Each structure stands twice: as C-alpha cells, then as structure tokens.
Amino acid sequence: MHPNSAHAGNVVLIRGAVLWLLVALLVAWCMVSLNLGLPGFHAVFQGKVSRLLQAHLDFLLMSALLFGFYAAGVPLRWHVRWTMVVGAFTNPSVFLLQAMFPVLDMPMPSEDAFPALFRLYAMVSVVITTYGFGGGALCVLRSTFRSE
C-alpha cells in the first residue's frame, strides 16, 4: 500500500478486519472442537453453544463491514475508524463471554460485580459500535453528494 493513497488513513480498518476474521476462524475451530468432544473445550465454553455461533457470525459480519468501509475508500476521521475497529471486537465478544460464563446469559443476573460489569461492558460496546459505524455510514453518505 502506498503511504499517499486515499486508503492510507483507513489502514486500521483493514488491519482490524483481518484480525477479527482470524478470530472468527478461531471461534469456528472452537465450535468444531466442542462438537467433536475434544478435551478441555467444554471446560472453557460452559455456556450455550449457540452463543459461540453468534460470536462467530458477528465477528464475520463485523469483518465484512470493516472490509467494505475500507474498500469504499472514503477517508474517515481517526475517532470514527478506531471506534469501528474497537466496536467490531467488543460487540461479538459479548456473545463469546456469554458462551464462556453462563451466569452472564441469564435474563436477570445476580447483583454480583461480574454480571454488573458485564452489563456495563455490553452497553459501552453498543455505544462505541453505533458511534463508529453510524459515523462511518454518514461520512460515506456525505461523500456521495460531493462533486469531484
């Protein structure tokens, strides 16, 4: 990639997309290992397997979105790029944590510190993800009205 290209400012998007795609592949292998009954995996993923599937699909979706925004070639502000990449990890990680810790998957978890911290993490994740992808969408939309 040439450092003066229009895409250079968005390089964090492609890096994030590739990393989260690799995480999605790792999660897929964890699901395969669970289904094969390999030792140790049921000790790590004690929650619902469906949550692991949700994490896998969400990592794939977030990677695809990052790839798409990168491919659009519209320069994005640094805070939009970074909240997209961070949100693209934290959002699917909510499902991953629920797959690992079943207590987090209850409708009304106990008032222990861990579930309360998890709820805060989930809410902050939603805000960060919304800010990043919403901001990115508005930047791309705005770019379609500019004359060359």
> 82 in a domain, yes or no?
yes
Render pLDDT for 9-59 as a digit per residue (tens, 0 to 9): 799 999 999 999 999 999 999 999 999 999 999 999 999 999 999 999 999
- Reduced 3-state DSSP string for 15-78: HHHHHHHHHHHHHHHHHHHHHHCCCCHHHHCCCCHHHHHHHHHHHHHHHHHHHHHHHHCCCCCH
Q: Is the pLDDT of residue 112 over 80?
A: no
User: What pLDDT score does 69 carry?
Assistant: 96
Q: Is the pLDDT of residue 4 over 60?
A: no
Residue 102, domain extent: 8-141
Q: How many percent of the chain have pLDDT more than 70?
A: 91
> 3 in a domain, yes or no?
no
Residues 9 and 126: their CA atoms lie apart, in Å, by: 24
> 102 in a domain, yes or no?
yes
Residues 66 and 57: their CA atoms lie apart, in Å, by: 14
Residues 144 and 15: their CA atoms lie apart, in Å, by: 25
> 77 in a domain, yes or no?
yes
Q: Are 61 and 23 in contact (CB under 8 A)?
A: no
Record the tokens describing residue 86, joined without a space.
């961070």
> 146 in a domain, yes or no?
no
Q: Is the pLDDT of residue 2 over 50?
A: no
Number of domains in the chain: 1
Instruction: Please state the φ and ψ torsions of residue 138, each to the nearest 5 degrees.
Output: -65, -40
